[in-house]
Amino acid sequence: MSDKNGREFMGLTIEGDHYGWARTPQEPIENLYAVLKEAFELKGVKGIMWEQYTPGWNDGEPCEFSIRDPKVTTNEAVAQAWLDGDEPDMSTAYPEEDYDAYGYDEYEYEQWGEHPDGKHVKDISIPVNHGQFEDALREKFGNDVKVIVALGRVVTEEYDCGY
C-alpha cells in the first residue's frame, strides 16, 4: 500500500510532522546572461561585483554556500578599480561630490545602500543572490570567490568571508 503523500520510509508510514525544505528551482546560467546584458546595454551598468562563499562557522547553524548581495555601479572609474582589485579614488570617480569626508565603502553599492551613483541604480535587479542561479554560479566560479563582471571582462579573486 502506497502513501499518496509520499510519507513512507521502507514501507512504513512516517508519523509526525514533515519539516520541508523548499529550495529555489535552479535555472541555467544562460538565463542570467540575458539579465546582465540588459543591465549593461540598457541601464548603463559598468560593473557588477558579488561574493560567493561557504562560511566556516555560522553560530551553530549549518554552513551553507551563499551569494552576497551584488554591488552595481554605473561609474566607469569604480568598475575599473573593481576589475583591478583596487578601491576607487572617490574624488576622481565623483569629482562633483565630497567623498573625502568618509571615503569608499563598497557596501554602499548594494541596493539597500546609499548608492553613490544615484537612486536609479537601486532599482536595477541583478538576481545572482536570489537562489535560482546558485548551482550554476558555484559551478562556473567556485567557492570563496569575489566575482567582478564588466563589459568585455570577468575577473575573480579569492574571498574570505571572515568567519
Beta-carbon contacts of residue 19 (< 8 Å; ≥ 6 apart): none
Residue reference for cell 573593481? 82
Provide the CA 14 distance to its chain's centre, in angstroms: 38
Q: For the residues 5-21, what does the mean pLDDT come to?
A: 79
In total, the chain counts a number of residues equal to 163
pLDDT of 3 higher than 60: no
Percent of the residues in the chain that have a pLDDT greater than 90, as a whole number: 55
Spatial separation of the C-alpha atoms in residues 149 and 153, rounded to whole Å: 6
Q: Are strands 12-13 and 47-53 parallel, antiparallel or unpaired?
A: unpaired
Q: For the residues 39-48, what does the mean pLDDT come to?
A: 95
Quick: pLDDT tens for 68-95. Answer: 999 999 999 999 999 999 999 998 899 8
| First-to-last C-alpha distance (Å) of the chain | 49
51-66 burial, b if ≥16 CB within 10 A, otherwise e? bbbebeeeeeeeeeee
